[in-house]
Amino acid sequence: GNSVTQMEGPVTLSEEAFLTINCTYTATGYPSLFWYVQYPGEGLQLLLKATKADDKGSNKGFEATYRKETTSFHLEKGSVQVSDSAVYFCALELMYSGGGADGLTFGKGTHLIIQP
Amino acid sequence: DSGVTQTPKHLITATGQRVTLRCSPRSGDLSVYWYQQSLDQGLQFLIQYYNGEERAKGNILERFSAQQFPDLHSELNLSSLELGDSALYFCASSVQGVGVGETQYFGPGTRLLVL
C-alpha cells in the first residue's frame, strides 16, 4: 500500500539554523505530495505542495522538491525562527486512473522545536 | 482560520455510547473528508463525501458512519465506543475532491475522550 516515512523527532534547532526534514514515500502510482503544519491546539494548514516530478513547492521560506527517482520530498528552510516551532506532516494523495482520489496518507509527523 | 468549522470542540463520553461529530465545510467546497489523529495510529483518513455521496473510504471501522447533507455539512457518527476511539477527529474540505493536488482545508478538530 501507500506510505510516507519521516523522522519523528523532536528536532531541536537554534534560531537562524538551517532546517531539513526528510520525507520519503511509497506509492503505487504518481502521487501529489504535500507538507502540512500543525501549530499547538490547531488544525493542519497546508504549507506547500507539488503535483509532479521535479516540481518545487515553496511558501514562507520553506521549500521542497518532488524527487521521483529517490521517492522523496524533503522540507528545507534556510533560517528558522521560533515561530516555526510546530509539528510538520508529509503527505501524499494518489489519484485513481478514472478520476477521484483517496484521502491523504500522512507520515507520523516531525515535532520541530526552535530555541531562541 | 480555514473556514471549516467543527462542533463540539471537546466530547467526553463512556464506553458503549454513541456520539455525533459535526462539520461545516468552507463556503463553496463540495467535498468533505474525515480524519482520525491518535497517538498510536497517527493521522488516518476515514472517509470522503462529495456533494452528498460517498466517494472514498479509508480505515473507517464498521461502528463508524458518516453522511453529507444537502446543505453540504457532514456528520460523523461513532457508536459502541471503545477506549481506543479516544482521538482527535478532523474534518477537511476541498472544492472538488478529485485529487490532482487539490488543497484540503482542515477544521480545528473535535477531541473525543472515551472513559
pLDDT by residue (tens digit) across A43-74? 899 999 999 999 999 999 999 999 999 999 99
Q: Report pLDDT for A96.
A: 67
Q: Which residues of A touch B (CB under 8 A)?
A: 32, 34, 36, 42-46, 49-51, 89, 93-96, 99-109
**Chain B residues lying within 8 Å of A42, measured CB to CB:** 108
Q: Check: CB of residue B107 under 8 Å from CB of residue B23.
A: yes
Residue A99 has pLDDT above 90, yes or no: no
Q: Report pLDDT for A53.
A: 92
Are B45 and A105 inside 8 Å of each other by CB? Answer: yes
Name which of A49, A104, A105, A106 to mutate to probe chain B: the one with the most chain B Cβ atoms within 10 A of its Cβ: A104
Question: How many other C-beta atoms are found inside a 10 Å radius of the C-beta of residue A57?
Answer: 21
Measured between alpha carbons, how far is A87 from A2 in angstroms, rounded to an integer?
Answer: 22
A69-96 mean pLDDT: 94
Positive or negative, the CA dihedral A8, A77, A67, A57 is positive
Cell 484521502 -> residue = A103
Per-residue confidence band for A100, with pLDDT thresholds at 50, 70 and 90: low
Q: Which residues of B touch A (CB under 8 A)?
A: 2, 4, 33, 35, 42-48, 55-56, 58, 90, 92, 97-101, 103-109
> Per-residue DSSP letters for B48-85?
EEETTEEEEE-S--TTEEEEE-TTS-EEEEE-S--GGG
Q: Report pLDDT for A51.
A: 92
Q: Check: CB of residue A48 under 8 Å from CB of residue A34.
A: yes
**What are the grid coordinates assigned to A81, written together?**
525562527
Instruction: Closest CB to A43: pick one of B33, B97, B107.
Output: B107
Question: How many other C-beta atoms are found inside a 10 Å radius of the C-beta of residue B112?
Answer: 21
pLDDT tens string, chain B, 115 residues long: the values are 889 999 999 999 999 999 999 999 999 999 999 999 998 889 999 999 999 999 889 989 999 999 999 999 999 999 999 999 999 999 999 987 666 778 999 999 999 999 9
A8-34 mean pLDDT: 93
Are A104 and B97 inside 8 Å of each other by CB? Answer: no
Residue A111 has pLDDT above 90, yes or no: yes
CB-count exposure of residue B67 (10 Å: 0-12, 13-18, 19+): middle
User: What count of CB pairs under 8 Å joins A to B?
Assistant: 71
Q: Report pLDDT for A103.
A: 87
Are A103 and B33 inside 8 Å of each other by CB? Answer: yes
Residue of B nearest to A3 (CA): B44
**Chain B residues lying within 8 Å of A46, measured CB to CB:** 103-105
A74-87 mean pLDDT: 97
Q: Report pLDDT for B61.
A: 95
Distance (Å) from the alpha carbon of A24 to chain B's nearest alpha carbon: 17
The DSSP code for A6 is E
Report pLDDT digits (tens) over A23-44: 999 998 889 999 999 998 888 9
Measured between alpha carbons, how far is B106 from B96 in angstroms, rounded to an integer?
Answer: 15
Q: Report pLDDT for A8.
A: 83
Q: Report pLDDT for B97.
A: 67
Beta pairing class for B64-68 and B53-57: unpaired
Name which of B2, B96, B104 to mutate to probe chain A: the one with the most chain A Cβ atoms within 10 A of its Cβ: B104
Q: Report pLDDT for A97.
A: 62
Write the single-letter amino acid at B84: G
Cell 528545507 -> residue = A76
Per-residue confidence band for A80, with pLDDT thresholds at 50, 70 and 90: very high
